[in-house]
Amino acid sequence: MNVMHYKGYEAVIEFDEEAEIFHGEVVNMRDVITFQGTSAAELKQAFADSLDDYLAFCAERGEQPEKPFSGQFVVRADPTLHKALSSAAQRDGVSLNKWVTSALERAVS
């Protein structure tokens, strides 16, 4: 799968070999925005047009468009794990948030 970016939003792209068309969907938000194209240039333009249409639609309705992820999320963990994570953060001299963020960054890199 390939990824495209526009105005801070991210879309994943798939190719439908049978239909010979690229399909894209914005993934870093809850609202559904999809687009398609038969070439890279057409796909890029369709992504921009779809996202710009979404932003204009929100403006017309007086609503705030959904932003890409805020950087905050809730994680539920077993209390024993929570305690172990807190202890590890204290041993490293950092906050639990900083410790978990660092561990997540290492996991995805």
pLDDT digits (tens, 9 = 90+) for 20-49: 999 999 997 888 999 999 999 999 999 999
**What pTM, to 2 d.p., does this model score?**
0.65
Range of the domain at 86: 79-108
66: buried, middle or exposed (CB in 10 Å: 19+, 13-18, 0-12)? middle
Asked whether residue 49 falls in the same domain as residue 12, the answer is yes
pLDDT along the chain (109 residues), means of 10: 90 94 90 94 96 95 84 87 94 93 93
Tell how strand 9-16 and strand 2-6 pair up: antiparallel
* Average pLDDT of the chain to the nearest whole number: 92
Share of the chain above pLDDT 70, in %: 98
Within a domain: residue 70? no
Within a domain: residue 74? no
Within a domain: residue 20? yes
